[in-house]
Structure 1
Amino acid sequence: MFFAPKEIKEATGESLIYCQRRVMVSKEFTFDAAHHLFNYEGKCKALHGHTYRLQIAVSGFLDERGMVYDFGDLKAIYKTELEPKLDHRYLNESLPYMNTTAENMVYWIYQTFAQALPNERGLQIEHVRLYETPSSYAEFRREWEHG
């Protein structure tokens, strides 16, 4: 038989935090969008669309609940900062001026998400991976920011 704890053991000094090290959490999203590429000779020169798959990973130290960052909070940043410019949009018009390659887009997503992430418990964005097709993606990592 299993007995769920009924209270937090604050009086004994015990903590809900088991891991004292940095931990990474990641959330995945999908969106549909259209774009075309400039200065490119191939099929993608013409207007076309994709169902993109986006993975965003952040790391930090655990809070009093034993969590790095709530998955719902990751989703909230996506919903407010990214989705309005990405989902069911013509990316050449909704994003800043760029050639809307997966490589350019993944860096813009990285920067946008990083700016919205709270500055607490060492939270930092680790990487963003943007799949343009099920087998093709571009990725940007934190360690590449200054290199």
Structure 2
Amino acid sequence: MFTVTKEFRFEAAHALPHLPEGHKCRRLHGHSYKFRVEVDGELDERGFVIDYAEISAEVNPIVDYLDHKNLNDLFDFHTSAENLAKWIFDELSKTLAVSRIVLFETANTSVIYPAR
């Protein structure tokens, strides 16, 4: 079994208005998001688990949808990293055998969905 990964980036703003007054994330702020798409599998006749171009073809429309947007304008859920990782996973799962999404909200904070 192999795991193939490819990383993508986008810039976006959001606020988490459900957090308590005074919490810095309650205010509108932005992140330089990075996420890794992971696909597990065995090698096919080409010697691939999946062609990296196949991953990009499915992910690029999602990146275009999210990039340079206010996430609160796009979604009716709290735009936490956890919820965003799950949304990306669910969207990709419609057309790609994605195993995991690792979403970095900052250089030092990330979430994995689904958890191992």
**TM-score when scaled to structure 2?**
0.91
CA positional deviation for 1:35: 0.5
Whether 1:98 aligns to 2:77 is yes
Looking at structure 2, the residues matched to 64 and 128 of structure 1 have their Cα atoms a distance apart, in angstroms, of 26
Looking at structure 2, the residues matched to 59 and 66 of structure 1 have their Cα atoms a distance apart, in angstroms, of 14
Looking at structure 1, the residues matched to 113 and 50 of structure 2 have their Cα atoms a distance apart, in angstroms, of 20
Q: 1:108 aligns with which of 68, 84, 87?
A: 87
Counterpart of 2:90 in 1: which secondary structure? helix
Give unpaired runs (5+ residues) of structure 1. Answer: 1-21, 118-123
**TM-score when scaled to structure 1?**
0.73
For residues 1-147 of structure 1, the aligned pairs below 5 Å read 22-41=1-20, 42-80=23-61, 82-95=62-75, 97-117=76-96, 124-141=97-114
Structure 2 residue identity aligned to 1:74: I
- What RMSD in Å do the two structures reach over aligned CA positions? 1.4
Structure 1 residue identity aligned to 2:77: M
Deviations 1:41-79 (A, max 9, x none): 211111110000101101122221100101111111111
Structure 2 residue identity aligned to 1:57: E
Number of positions where the alignment pairs a residue of Structure 1 with one of Structure 2: 114
Greater RCO (Cα-Cα under 8 Å, separation 6 or more): 2
Conserved? CA contact 2:9–2:63, under 8 Å? no
Looking at structure 2, the residues matched to 126 and 103 of structure 1 have their Cα atoms a distance apart, in angstroms, of 16
Looking at structure 1, the residues matched to 59 and 66 of structure 2 have their Cα atoms a distance apart, in angstroms, of 10
Counterpart of 2:35 in 1: which secondary structure? strand
Structure ID, larger Rg:
1
